[in-house]
Amino acid sequence: MRKFLKRRETTLALIIVGFIILVSLRSPRFATGSNMYDILNDTAVLMLASTAQFLILLTGGIDLSIPSTMAFTGMLVSMLNIREPNLPIVVVLLITLAIGLALGAFNGILVGALKIPPIIATLGTIAIYRALVFVVSGGQWVSAHEMSSIFVSIPHNPFLGISGILWYTTITIVLVGLFLTYSKTGRAIYAVGGNRPAARLVGLSGERVDFIAFSLSGAISGLAGLLYVTRYAAAQNDTALGYELQAVAACVIGGVSVLGGSGTMVGVVLGAFFLGLLYNALTEVNLSPFFQMGIQGLAILVAIVANTLVDRRNRHKMLAKRNLV
């Protein structure tokens, strides 16, 4: 119980509850179930992007190319939709995942096989994938009236009263969480991210882990891209611009270390949800949406400073304990 209370996720959850109470004092509408449901729907894409970023941060890298992967996948499936308006959703999903996977795997090859530092590799591909959006679309949008009703219904389609976008997001998050916690490869990602040389000595291949993490991250970004374009019913060249940093923000707020090897799926989801709450609360307390970016920056800085201070205290405690024993 004490351990549970001390956990980072618990703290964040308490902060979230406190935040909700605080805002609803000013605007009672805020804490209602339907508003929370709306916020979840609004945050779902960010949660997926954050999950994609989380996998890479765990390996000790960073993925700047996430928004470009989202935009490219979203554009490609939208254009496919114009040609084949009646493709079943399952097929669209599979194609989406495949495109995202391919883009992610290309990142994975650059990082894993060619040994380019992730920040440089994805700095290159953020420009390349975004340029490819322009190349395939010829600079044109795909707008709502060109999309088939099946396609646009993907994020809505309620099942058991819950929207499609939340189902896809929840399933992805649960799968990734299980994968990271219980699968061998998932544990290897933590091990490699925590201490690459040590992981190597116990026989874990950092290259393989990088490749898998980037491929998975790409597939998830692809899904995020599909949900983005279908939810807003428009695929543009500027789709998801800036999402890479929002995703890092969600992860950092959720307690993920940018040095790799530590952080949990639950933390990331809470971090993304917290950002979603922040954005939504701005309008509730009559602040202009132009404040969003600044407040997000402040939240990131507060979170990383807090992370560092807590880490340091824990380390001191551990050392002190060892001296006593």
Partner 1 sequence: MSNVGIQTAQGRSLVSAGRVGKFLKSWDSILTLIFIAIMVGGSFVSPYFLDTRNLLDTTFNFMEKAIVALPMLFIILCGDIDVSVGSIIALSALAIGGAAQAGVGTPGLVLIGLGVGLIAGMLNGYLITRFDIPAIAVTIGTQSLFRGISQAVLGDQAYTKYPVDFEFFGQGYISGTPIPFELVLFLLLAVGTGILLHRTTFGRKVYALGRNPVASKFSGINVGRLRFIIFSWAGLFSGIAAVLLVSRIGSTRPNIASGLELDAITSVVLGGVAITGGFGGIYGVVVANLLLGYLKYGMGLINVPGRVMNLVTGALLIVAVVLPETFKRLDQRKRLFKKQGGTV
Token pair for 70:
């989202």
Q: Which of 20, 79, 132, 175 binds partner 1 (CB under 8 A)?
A: 132
Q: According to the binding rule CB under 8 A, does residue 15 interact with partner 1?
A: no
Which amino acid is located at 50 in the chain?
Answer: S
The DSSP code for 110 is I
> Binding string, 220-249, against partner 1, x = CB under 8 A?
-----------------x-------x--xx
User: Segment contacting partner 1 (CB under 8 A): 79-87, 114-122, 161-169, 314-322?
Assistant: 114-122
Q: How many CA atoms lie within 13 A of 302 on its CB side?
A: 10
Is residue 295 at the binding interface for partner 1, with CB under 8 A as the rule?
Answer: yes
Residue 126 binds to partner 1 (criterion: CB under 8 A) = yes
* Nearer residue to partner 1 within complex by CB, 233 or 310: 310
By CB under 8 A, which span of 120-128, 214-222, 266-274, 316-324 interacts with partner 1? Answer: 120-128
What letter represents residue 266's amino acid? V
Whole-number Å distance between alpha carbons of 162 and 10: 26
CB of 75 to partner 1, least distance (A): 12
Is residue 82 within the footprint of partner 1 (CB under 8 A)? no
**Of the two residues 85 and 242, which places its CB atom closer to partner 1 in the complex?**
242
Helices (H), ranges, the chain: 2-6, 8-26, 33-58, 66-83, 89-108, 118-137, 149-152, 164-182, 184-194, 196-201, 206-232, 243-253, 265-284, 292-324
Can you tell me the distance from the alpha carbon of 156 to that of 159, in angstroms, rounded to the nearest whole number?
9
- Residues 254-273 binding partner 1 (CB under 8 A) are 258-259
CA angle 137, 149, 84 (to 5 degrees): 50
**Candidate segments 2-10, 77-85, 89-97, 117-125, binder of partner 1 by CB under 8 A:** 117-125
Three-state DSSP class for residue 140: coil
Binding site for partner 1 (CB under 8 A): 62, 64, 110, 114-117, 119-121, 123-128, 130-135, 139, 237, 245, 248-249, 252, 258-259, 288, 290-298, 300-301, 304-305, 308-309
